[in-house]
Chains A and B, each alone.
Chain A
Amino acid sequence: MNRRQAAGICSRILVLASATIVIAILAFIICEVVGRGAGSLTWQLISTTPSYLNGTIGILPDIANTIYLLLFSLVLALPIGVISAIYLTEYAHPGKIESCIEFAIETLSGIPSIIYGLVGMLVFCQLFNFKTSLAAGACTLAIMNIPTVIRTVQESLKTVPQSYREGALALGSGKGHTIWTVVLPNAIDGIMSGCILSAGRVTSESAALLFTAGFAHSLVPLSEALSSPGASLSVALYVYAKEQGEFGVAFAIAIMLLIITFLINLAAMMIAKAKKKQI
């Protein structure tokens, strides 16, 4: 056996080994979570609110809170993110200011989420007097997600051929009209994937919410949600595991979160596939 063959076999073994490790870790996590949580994941758990009188635990309020947070934070983050991305790619002239903004976005997306939580508490809960509420939590999450949305939308705006813009402008279309009618419809996949990435972060985030949205487990209707405090699923997981020692419930929530993550990734993949088919 010569050297080149030996190198080939070695690299093959390395590749196989790392692939096996990755799959094994995933399989272990899924087995562990499902094994410990499946027993507690009952219909009663996901369809009721917790009651101290009966001593029962229900995570329906936490599911509702997660949905509220998703809704509110996306409503805030998407328009701001998309409009910023449009400004940066279509209007801003390359220069000092533009590169400053780009740098700020880059840095923002690397800041640990607990810091967003801390600043969110100071600014939204105290300065803006939102108190500990889903509104404060959603605002904090929105700010956390804006850089991600900007990045993905920018990438997708850049893939819209320049010839579309030229074609529209040459027909006498204004710049704004061109962006609205020709550029944005062709960047819709980027907007969707920005949406999905943000949704993923919102459901998985706990640190940024601990200080801002609180730990309440009471079920509130959508109309009152903004002003009420509430725990999302991830926060509830932390609370049940750490403060009440209910590990069965914590793992049951973990199963729910795994399913949500899986669904979100599936949606992202399907959108990417649909886009490819179009081309």
Chain B
Amino acid sequence: MKQEPIIRCRKLSLWYSKTQALKDITIDFYPNSVNALIGPSGCGKSTFIKTLNRLNDLISEVRTEGEVFYRNTEIRDPGLDVTDLRKEIGMVFQKPNPFPMSIYDNIAYGPRTHGIRNRSELDDIVENALKSAALWDETSDRLRKSAMGLSGGQQQRLCIARAIAVQPQVLLMDEPTSALDPISTAKIEELLSVLKEKFTIIIVTHNMQQAMRSSDTTSFFLLGELVESGNTEQVFSHPHDKRTEDYITGRFG
């Protein structure tokens, strides 16, 4: 698969006021793949993916250097319309965060935000998004009920459906299963392999097995540096770097 990368990152560095959180990250992500980011807590994985949809803008005193391209758009461009960018690059958070409104309104929130008002069009979007997130069978008879009544795993799939409803190209996931039970986790992992047919997925995980089971490429972060990145099978079976080997065999982290 010699495609153009959908996200191209060159020598990206990031500082929170004086502390450097990312050091010279150079990495490419290709369309229709699942890319796992692994590494110990505080190594910059979440910071890195929040750079991709500019959610780091919420924090004051963040400074970046380097280049990050989504297709031909420079993500770091201060003049960039971030709402357009976030429409292309969706995100699912660590803790399920449905809005306290009905299941239907949660899914329709994104499309409505981007100007879709037509009732039947919204109905279709909601149905398709819920089906894509494997939640339709469980919720089709209670779309008007509050999303807060769903279980944790259902809430997280709702958040995935909500992100999909905007029809992004890339889906960022920040430890999406760390707050869930094993069965809900398995459902979401299974979902990943289906979702990658339509989207490029970048997933932060603390779970080695999860990275091994469900990703195509794996990147190992340590103290703000990208230590190693490559085909998942290769990274786990023949890591090039000693530090990667130590981490995946559980010697630290």
Contacts and interface: CB of A to CB of B under 8 A. Distances in A.
A277 to B, nearest CB: 13
A6 B67 CA distance: 73
Contacts of A2: none
A143 B95 CA distance: 42
Contacts of A174: 83
A266 interface: no
B87 interface: yes
11 contacts: A93-B60, A163-B95, A164-B99, A167-B93, A167-B159, A168-B109, A168-B113, A170-B55, A171-B87, A171-B113, A172-B87
Nearest to A174: B83
B200 interface: no
Interface in A160-191: 161, 163-174, 177, 181-182, 186
A142 B106 CA distance: 37
A170 B53 contact: yes
Interface centre among B53, B60, B97, B114 (most CB of A within 10 A): B97
Contacts of B98: 167
- Which 6 A-B pairs have CB atoms at the shortest separation, nearest pair first? A163-B97, A172-B87, A172-B86, A170-B91, A171-B110, A167-B97
A182 B84 CA distance: 19
Interface string A137-161: 0000000000000000000000001
Given A167-B93, A170-B53, A170-B55, 19 more contacts: A93-B60, A161-B97, A166-B55, A166-B93, A166-B97, A167-B98, A167-B99, A168-B99, A169-B58, A170-B90, A171-B90, A171-B109, A171-B110, A171-B113, A171-B166, A172-B84, A172-B114, A173-B110, A177-B113
Contacts of A169: 55, 58, 86
A32 B146 CA distance: 50
Contacts of B83: 172-174
B32 to A, nearest CB: 21
A244 to B, nearest CB: 55
Nearest to B97: A163
Contacts of A181: 109, 113
Contacts of B162: 167, 171
A171 B86 contact: yes
Contacts of A173: 83, 109-110, 113
A173 B91 CA distance: 13
A181 B105 CA distance: 11
A172 B58 contact: no
Given A164-B97, A167-B99, A172 B55 contact: no
B162 to A, nearest CB: 7
Contacts of A165: 58
B100 interface: yes
Nearest to A95: B60
B93 A186 contact: no
B211 interface: no
Contacts of A167: 93, 97-99, 159, 162
B163 interface: yes
Contacts of B55: 166, 169-170
B110 A172 contact: yes
Interface string B92-112: 010101111000000001100
Contacts of B87: 171-172
Interface string A75-118: 00000000000000000010000000000000000000000000
A171 B90 CA distance: 6
Contacts of A171: 86-87, 90, 109-110, 113, 162-163, 166
Interface centre among A161, A167, A170, A278 (most CB of B within 10 A): A170
Interface centre among A168, A173, A177 (most CB of B within 10 A): A173
Contact of A170 (B86, B99, B100, B114): B86
Nearest to B54: A169
Contacts of A182: 99
A174 B54 CA distance: 13
B101 to A, nearest CB: 8
Nearest to B92: A170
Interface centre among B91, B99, B162, B166 (most CB of A within 10 A): B99
A172 B113 contact: yes
Contacts of B53: 170
